[in-house]
Amino acid sequence: MRAKIETSQAPQAVGPYSQAIKANGFLFISGQIALDPKTGLMTATDIIGQTHQVMENIGAILSAEGLTFADLVKTTIFLTDLGDFQQINEVYASYFQSDPPARSTVQVAALPKGAKVEIEAIAVLR
């Protein structure tokens, strides 16, 4: 089973990809940047604001499938500056009650639309 997941509560894709794909008991969420789902624009300019928006976008996609952050099993964080690592950790941690998912964090040269952070995620379906 493979199904495309889409919600108006998260930003629409900026390229040829789906917001998420449900397959084999998992939800694979495409990398999210800090786009406001209502305007399609990046309104947050600092790393804290961008990280909050990214996590809200992931939350909206999870919610579309009746899931929460507790259902995440793996995330990958892409940063344009590893110097932002501590600030991102503080925001990221606030979205988990306990047992955060496995995670990788890497620095990249650039992200779409000049974003400072992008996060992709995998959740287990209930």
Q: How confident is the model at residue 52 (pLDDT cuts 50, 70, 90)?
A: very high
Question: What average pLDDT does range 75-80 have in this prediction?
Answer: 98
Q: What is the pTM of this model?
A: 0.97
The tens digit of pLDDT for each residue in 27-42 reads: 999 999 999 999 999 9
**CA 30 to chain CA centroid, nearest Å:** 7
* Domains with residue ranges and CATH for the chain: 2-124 (3.30.1330.40)
Task: Look at residue 1 in the predicted model and tell me its pLDDT.
Answer: 84
Distances 104 to 1, 76, 101, 125 between C-alpha atoms, Å = 27, 5, 10, 21
